[in-house]
Structure 1
Amino acid sequence: MPDNRRASLRDIAAETGVSVATVSRVLNDRVNVAPRTRDLVLQAVERHKQRATQPSRPRTVYVRCPYVLTDYFGVIVSSIAETLKLHGLRLVLDAGESAQDSDALTVLPSQDDINGAILILPPEAGDQLVTLSHTGFPFVVVDPRTPPPPDIAAVSAAHFSGARAVADHLIGLGHRDIGVIAGPDEWLAGDARLAGHRAALAQAGILLTPERLRHIEPTTAAGRSAAASLLDLSPRLTAIVCFNDKVAVGTLQAARERGLRVPEDLSVAGFDDIDLSEATDPALTTVRQPLQEMGRIAVTQLMRVLDGHQPEALHIELATTLVVRDSTAAH
């Protein structure tokens, strides 16, 4: 049997949820097939015929990233764009902080020229995503800000295990006076990373007291300010673990202003492993997020939905990797 016939059988089997052998029996008019199953397969075959006779038009995917396309978001968006192009899909990009005020989620279902969407760290509340899902409009969330609703496809990094690994690294170096500069409250990545730090510290018998914890917006300036207040504590901290690499850069600045050497006097660790982490002096110990893979998997998930299939898994967490550089040392 030609390869294209076998591929067609697999497509129909996947769409109807029956075996390839059952599809073959129906197409060869065998009698040992239940009437309901036969009808299901024949209807799927008819749909495939109709699609084949319709003029082909490239499907269009709306990608929304309501943030400045810096290293972190830029890598994800670039990966999505490259993967969409590889599969022959068109891209409509809505990016920049001005996109945070748009009503994109409410108007998407009425956009006849948009076939699906990839939403990167959407600022909207979870119930707005549920409302969009109930319209039947296909979309995938990348790096959700809040816990994704059960029936919504989402891709993120394993924030908890990554944060635990970097805290374990500092504890293994002998640090006990450790400060944490965490992300905003009620932000999924921030909550998961803080939980990972707490788990590692608790296992080592170290209590993360409130005065050693800061919640901030994850910027270099905010990191510098938070680190300054932590470094004024007594006894002085020997290590600070930061929400992301930008916060870690601010921490390096605060340490330098106080005449502290990194890593001799203070160990500093970040998260994300953006390009900046290798350009600092010293280079940052950090946690690498698989940003490119997140973009590629988001496209793969969306394509399955567009093709009429359920995603293989609704909530995917991709493994992170601890990257040890020169900003951490034994105490």
Structure 2
Amino acid sequence: MKKIKPTTSDVALLAGVSQSAVSMILNHPTHPRFSPETVKRVLEAAKELGYEPRSRIIRQSGRFHTKTLLILCPVISNPYYSSLVQAAEQEAEKEGFFTVVCNTYRSAQREQKILSEFQGGTICGVVFASIPQSRELVEKINQEIPVVVIGDRNTSIAVDTVEIDSILSGKLTAEHLLSLGHRYAAFLSTTLNEQNAVRVNRLEGFQQAFQKAGGQVHIFSQEVTSEDDLQNLMIEHSIGFSLAQQAMREPTITALVAVNDMVAYGVVSAVKEAGFSIPEDYSVCGFDNIFPSQYAGISLTTVEHCILEKGRNAVQILAERISAKQDLPVSIKRLEYRPRLIVRNSTGAPRTG
């Protein structure tokens, strides 16, 4: 008779825990949700029954048995991420893959939970649409299945990456405003911390150029929690609006630079509601060049970050590694795009008087 292989249900019954707990522990034994005692019971039960996680079987066999890619992004409501994900999905379909898209809302716990749920042979690759919160975990997963991160050249992570130079993006925006004659600018941003390195790097590049020219940068930022991202689809617009109101109280400021185009739209709304004109009273800039920024009613000066190209390239890199049956990475690929300033009607010479 053919020997029946043990299942996660068998391990769960012997260990006295749920089946989902078994899956999470076997694929991530250091999962913070479980006590050392629980982890020990599950591992001992699996050993006693001779159960082997499917992810390990797949890795040992040197091939992938699924055609599903997991795409993780912070918030799909931002056109930057929705465009990037759509480009990745289009490329995945060309390569014969299915895709599953999950929002992390920039929560490390949510990110870890999603990754735990999808480990175990259910996916053959992962695309991060932004720099992951759980870097060590992501680097560990990359030892079993291919991972590609769409990130920043100034923030290192030991997996394949498709990058943009955010410090250069900030410098390009600053140099443009300085060339127009601006010397006092406001930088308006959602949360600025090490978990949001792209934003910090944009600010750094902007400040470097302004300080070199003898200009002054006022920084206005507001904390955004994961719950804020989840509950409020308009959070970036709202914060741009609120921060612009604060910035306009400083009479020397003539340029308002938003950390991304979505925040910039809130800035534009606040400036117009206050009765001012763009760019006659205030110049406004953003970053990303999402598709609404080209519309005549917005015409936002921004920085091109090659959204569609990055989404396609991320999937191409995964497909190459999967087709090569390369279980363990032997090298790290870094594909970098150069940011490019797109000048539109939202910037001009500073007001006089």
After TM superposition, the score normalised by the length of structure 1 is 0.73
Q: Distance in 1 between matches of 2:307 and 2:300?
A: 18
For these two proteins, the number of residue pairs brought into alignment is 272
1:250 to 255, 266, 270: 266
1:291 to partner: Cα distance: 0.6
Q: Which deviates more from structure 2 when the two are superposed, residues 268-277 or residues 164-173?
A: 268-277
Residues 113-132 of structure 1 correspond to what in structure 2 (within 5 A)? 113-121=122-130, 124-132=133-141
Partner of 2:69: 61
Residues 4-23 of structure 1 correspond to what in structure 2 (within 5 A)? none
Whether the 8 Å CA contact 2:66–2:124 is kept in 1: the answer is: no
Partner of 1:14: none
Partner of 1:9: none
Matched, 1:223 2:240: yes
Partner of 2:228: none
Whether the 8 Å CA contact 1:304–1:311 is kept in 2: the answer is: no
Give the secondary structure class of the aligned counterpart of 2:177.
helix
Whether the 8 Å CA contact 2:125–2:147 is kept in 1: the answer is: yes
Q: Distance in 2 between matches of 1:98 and 1:173?
A: 36
Q: Distance in 2 between matches of 1:106 and 1:96?
A: 13
Query: Which residue identity lines up with residue 85 of structure 1 in the other structure?
Result: E
Residues 75-114 of structure 1 correspond to what in structure 2 (within 5 A)? 75-95=83-103, 97=105, 101=110, 103-110=113-120, 112-114=121-123
1:316 to partner: Cα distance: 2.9
- 1:98–1:328 CA distance, 2 compared to 1 (3 A): closer
1:259 to 267, 275, 278: 275
- 1:131–1:64 CA distance, 2 compared to 1 (3 A): same
1:179-198 Cα shifts (integer Å, max 9, x gaps):
11134222111111011101
1:232 to 249, 265, 268: 249
Q: Distance in 1 between matches of 2:129 and 2:153?
A: 9
Unaligned runs of 5+ in 1: 1-49
1:71 to partner: Cα distance: 1.3
- 1:98–1:264 CA distance, 2 compared to 1 (3 A): closer
Partner of 1:136: 144
1:59-100 Cα shifts (integer Å, max 9, x gaps):
322222342344111111111111111122222333475997
1:304 to partner: Cα distance: 2.7
Matched, 1:294 2:310: yes
Partner of 1:188: 197
Whether the 8 Å CA contact 1:271–1:286 is kept in 2: the answer is: yes
Give the secondary structure class of the aligned counterpart of 1:190.
helix
Query: Which residue identity lines up with residue 244 of structure 2 in the other structure?
Result: A
1:247-279 Cα shifts (integer Å, max 9, x gaps):
111111221232211111111111111122123
CA RMSD of aligned residues (A): 2.9
- 1:219–1:180 CA distance, 2 compared to 1 (3 A): same
- 1:184–1:98 CA distance, 2 compared to 1 (3 A): closer
Matched, 1:318 2:325: no
Give the secondary structure class of the aligned counterpart of 1:219.
helix
Query: Which residue identity lines up with residue 228 of structure 1 in the other structure?
Result: Q
Q: Distance in 2 between matches of 1:87 and 1:61?
A: 11
- 1:128–1:146 CA distance, 2 compared to 1 (3 A): farther
Identical residues among aligned pairs (%): 26
Residues 165-176 of structure 1 correspond to what in structure 2 (within 5 A)? 165-176=172-183
Matched, 1:213 2:219: yes
- 1:98–1:179 CA distance, 2 compared to 1 (3 A): closer
1:21-41 Cα shifts (integer Å, max 9, x gaps):
xxxxxxxxxxxxxxxxxxxxx
1:193-247 Cα shifts (integer Å, max 9, x gaps):
0111012112212243xxx1112357011011111111101x3311111101111
- 1:97–1:280 CA distance, 2 compared to 1 (3 A): farther
Partner of 1:273: 289
1:127-184 Cα shifts (integer Å, max 9, x gaps):
2223323x422211123799342x2112232211122111100000001111111342
- 1:97–1:207 CA distance, 2 compared to 1 (3 A): closer
Q: Which deviates more from structure 2 when the two are superposed, residues 182-191 or residues 78-87?
A: 182-191
Give the secondary structure class of the aligned counterpart of 1:248.
helix
Who wins on radius of gyration, i.e. which is larger? 1
Give the secondary structure class of the aligned counterpart of 1:143.
strand
Give the secondary structure class of the aligned counterpart of 1:79.
helix
Whether the 8 Å CA contact 1:230–1:237 is kept in 2: the answer is: yes
Query: Which residue identity lines up with residue 126 of structure 1 in the other structure?
Result: R
Query: Which residue identity lines up with residue 161 of structure 1 in the other structure?
Result: L
Q: Distance in 2 between matches of 1:167 and 1:194?
A: 10
Query: Which residue identity lines up with residue 200 of structure 1 in the other structure?
Result: A
